[in-house]
């Protein structure tokens, strides 16, 4: 492969970037920029309320990723309104997706869930819905609802897989195993629903080869989208205590080391899977571990530049075996 491949739009995803990015797909689908509006609908999780455990995932603190306008103390409509006001001041000709983000957003009665989703979808300017959840919190009746909804709106389900290693899932108190992730993704596929997964690179006890194997395993699933980011040690979490006690169990990356890992990960990743996120940057006052001092878009730009320099691309080493 040479440089002309990058400029000749010859990748299967239809543009010259060396990875299959979700933002490019959404812009092509809707004809303009698409912005997700985060919503906190007041949900909890089964590993928080005692159904499967207490305390939640050891790495979790929702303050680390909820935007300022997102609060369960105000209604879904009010959160959408505030989100639209924030982004409309920055961008013109923008379309919006309602993103139920905080905690497990399918963890309630079917009637309550449908009422909340419909409240968001009925808000003027909302073109679809994105629901973040756990693989053990999805039911056939709810999938039937989403399947019918997908005939009229963009519908995406994002499953928190986090790791494909059972020992890791136990260690971080996920309360589900990887087989449940496989079943949930397969059960959701082929319904007209956009199926996504979330993965954290650098969870305790995992080696670089373990992380690369995540790419190989997830590539065999009927996923449309993947979100990856580096582990961030967040203040006040149980993982912060674990990190301070057993730092040798953690692989800590410099920005350049992480960029190299992501590129190797992408080379193994099924080229049909769109990537939505490559890194994350929580508020500085919440991060207990190492900070890179780079914004997410800067990390993405460095990944893209380095991939072009190496003449490599997503899926270059992908195999179905």
Per-residue pLDDT of the chain (321 residues; tens, 9 = 90+): 333 355 555 688 988 899 999 999 999 999 999 999 999 999 999 999 999 888 889 998 765 555 655 566 799 999 999 999 999 988 888 999 999 999 999 999 999 999 999 999 999 999 999 999 999 999 999 999 999 999 999 999 999 999 999 999 999 999 999 999 999 999 999 999 999 999 999 999 999 999 999 999 999 999 999 999 999 999 989 999 999 999 999 988 999 999 999 999 999 999 999 999 999 988 888 888 778 889 999 999 999 999 999 999 999 999 987
CA–CA separation, 132 and 145 (whole Å)? 16
Range of the domain at 253: 3-309
34 near 94, Cβ under 8 Å? Answer: yes
Query: Is residue 280, in this structure, part of any structural domain at all?
Result: yes
Query: Is residue 213, in this structure, part of any structural domain at all?
Result: yes
Number of domains in the chain: 1
CA–CA separation, 137 and 156 (whole Å)? 15
pLDDT tens digit string along 245-254?
Answer: 999 999 889 9
**CATH number of the domain that 214 lies in?**
3.80.30.30
Q: Determine which helix (DSSP H) or strand (DSSP E) holds 100, and give its type and residue range.
A: strand 94-100
Query: Is residue 299, in this structure, part of any structural domain at all?
Result: yes
Determine if residue 173 is left, alpha or beta; phi over 0 gives left, psi from -120 to 50 gives alpha, anything else beta: left
Query: Is residue 316, in this structure, part of any structural domain at all?
Result: no
Query: Is residue 129, in this structure, part of any structural domain at all?
Result: yes
Query: Is residue 35, in this structure, part of any structural domain at all?
Result: yes
What's the DSSP call for residue 287? B
Query: Is residue 67, in this structure, part of any structural domain at all?
Result: yes
For helices 296-309 and 255-268, angle between their N-to-C axes, nearest 10 degrees: 60
Q: Determine which helix (DSSP H) or strand (DSSP E) holds 275, and give its type and residue range.
A: strand 274-277
Contacts 24+ apart (CB under 8 A), 15-20: 17/304, 18/266, 18/304, 18/307, 18/308, 18/312, 18/313, 18/314, 19/266, 19/275, 19/303, 19/304, 19/307, 19/313, 19/314, 20/271, 20/272, 20/273, 20/274, 20/275, 20/314, 20/315
Query: Is residue 277, in this structure, part of any structural domain at all?
Result: yes
């Amino acid at each position: 492969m040479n440089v002309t491949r990058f400029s000749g739009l010859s990748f299967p995803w239809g543009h010259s970037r060396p990875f299959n990015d979700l933002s490019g797909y959404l812009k092509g689908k809707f004809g303009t920029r698409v912005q997700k509006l985060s919503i906190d609908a007041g949900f909890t999780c089964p590993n928080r309320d005692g159904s499967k455990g207490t305390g939640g995932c050891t790495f979790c603190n929702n303050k680390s990723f909820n935007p300022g306008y997102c609060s369960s103390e105000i209604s879904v409509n009010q959160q959408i309104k505030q989100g639209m006001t924030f982004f409309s001041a920055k961008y013109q000709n923008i379309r919006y997706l309602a993103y139920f983000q905080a905690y497990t957003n399918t963890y309630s009665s079917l009637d309550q869930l449908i009422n909340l989703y419909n409240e968001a979808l009925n808000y003027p300017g909302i073109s679809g819905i994105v629901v973040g959840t756990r693989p053990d919190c999805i039911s056939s009746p709810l999938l039937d609802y989403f399947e019918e909804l997908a005939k009229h709106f963009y519908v995406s389900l994002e499953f928190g897989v986090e790791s494909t290693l059972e020992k890791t899932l136990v260690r971080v108190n996920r309360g589900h195993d990887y087989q449940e992730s496989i079943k949930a993704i397969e059960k959701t596929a082929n319904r007209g629903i956009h199926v996504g997964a979330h993965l954290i690179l650098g969870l305790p006890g995992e080696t670089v080869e373990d992380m690369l194997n995540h790419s190989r395993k997830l590539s065999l699933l009927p996923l449309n989208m993947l979100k990856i980011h580096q582990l961030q040690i967040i203040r006040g979490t149980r993982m912060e205590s674990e990190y301070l006690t057993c730092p040798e169990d953690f692989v800590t990356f410099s920005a350049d080391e992480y960029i190299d890992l992501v590129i190797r990960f992408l080379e193994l990743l099924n080229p049909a899977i769109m990537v939505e996120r490559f890194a994350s940057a929580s508020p500085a006052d919440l991060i207990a571990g190492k900070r890179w001092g780079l914004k997410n878009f800067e990390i993405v730009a460095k990944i893209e530049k380095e991939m072009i320099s190496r003449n490599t691309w997503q899926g270059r080493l992908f195999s179905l075996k």
